[in-house]
Amino acid sequence: MRNFTFDLDENVERREVRFNNRFGIEIAADFYLPKNIGDKKLSGLVIGGPFGAVKEQASGRYANEMAKNGFAALAFDGSYTGESGGTPRNVAAPDINTEDFMAAVDGIGMQKNVDRDSIGVIGICGWGSLALNAVAIDKRVKAVATVSMYDASAGFAAQPLEQRTEMLNNIGKQRWVDVDNGSPAAMFDQLPSKLPENADMDTKETFEFYRTKRGFHENSILSNGRWNATMPLSFMSTPIMNYMDEISPRPLLLIAGENAFSRPASEVAYKKAKEPKELMLIPDAWHSTLYDNMEKIPFVKIVDFFNDSL
């Protein structure tokens, strides 16, 4: 029996679907629908993220809530993670994960209850920047929203040159180790084994989401695994949001916690984007607050946004 970190709404049905991205990797997804709709066509939403999470966590929660509000919604695992295919495991790359979003548009468009001319995208955390990257070039998508968006490529690009060079040298050495061993090594654990007493709220919220019963899932890299040590390489060489202006004239909604470390990423994206666009800051919210805090996630706003845009 599969584990989910949220309860399926009594008025929503869920089923597993599979499809391939254009690299031939099988993508595992869950498709959420309001019950008893027959052959009615609905607007579809593709939902990905957070970075290091799986579809049984935040993206599934969002899909469940949006289906409760009348949408068809698909939450998916990125290539090399969760139940999706691809080897080696625990890898991320901007080009492949951007394609995962576009493949998920294929996947939801294959479902009989989805109107192919009315599809939107929601990206959470690091998958938010990947969502923007995908929507900029996939003109089938009619609107996009991000939640706690973070741009890993921009984060690496902002490093001082000496720090960046040292990191690249270390990754190069690690590649030789991986070649000699015949398999990739794992990165250091990105979360502490025990939460420090003086941890800031972003660290506290993220730790609680991934490492406690609040949001732990055995398939999640940040809950129960580690990224490959060489994983950052692609993000260090590939800028993600170079084509933000090409999302327009399709509507864009950026949602961020007022206190989140990731808030500046949404503010930068907002400045880069053309109208129509909106930046919504959530008071007393941190980065991971918006993964699962139903009192803080502005679902009314998100529902209204897609009802107006699709």
pLDDT digit string, tens, across residues 110-143: 999 999 999 999 999 999 999 999 999 999 999 9
- Give CA–CA dist 190/254, Å, rounded: 26
Residue 118 lies in a domain: yes
Q: Cβ contacts of residue 292 below 8 Å, gap of 6+? A: 5, 6, 57, 58, 61, 209, 214, 215
User: Residue 32 domain-assigned?
Assistant: yes
* Pairwise CA distance, residues 160 & 119, whole Å: 40
Give percent above pLDDT 90 in the chain.
97
In a domain, 24, yes or no: yes
Kindly state whether residue 80 falls inside one of the protein's structural domains: yes
- What pLDDT does 192 receive? 86
Buried b (16+ CB within 10 A) or exposed e, 234-270: bbbebebbeebeebeebbbbbbbbebbbbbebbebbe
Do the beta carbons of residue 212 and residue 204 sit within 8 Å? Answer: no
Does the model's pTM come out above 0.75? Answer: yes
For 259-283, what is the mean pLDDT?
98
Distances (CA, A) of 150 to 104, 145, 290: 20, 13, 13
Per the structure, how many domains does the chain have?
1
Residue at 166 is within a domain? no
Mean pLDDT of the region 305-309: 99
**CATH for 279:** 3.40.50.1820
Q: CB neighbours (10 Å) of residue 4? A: 16
Residue 167 lies in a domain: no
Q: Which domain holds residue 23?
A: 12-151+189-225+240-309
Q: Is residue 183 part of a domain?
A: no
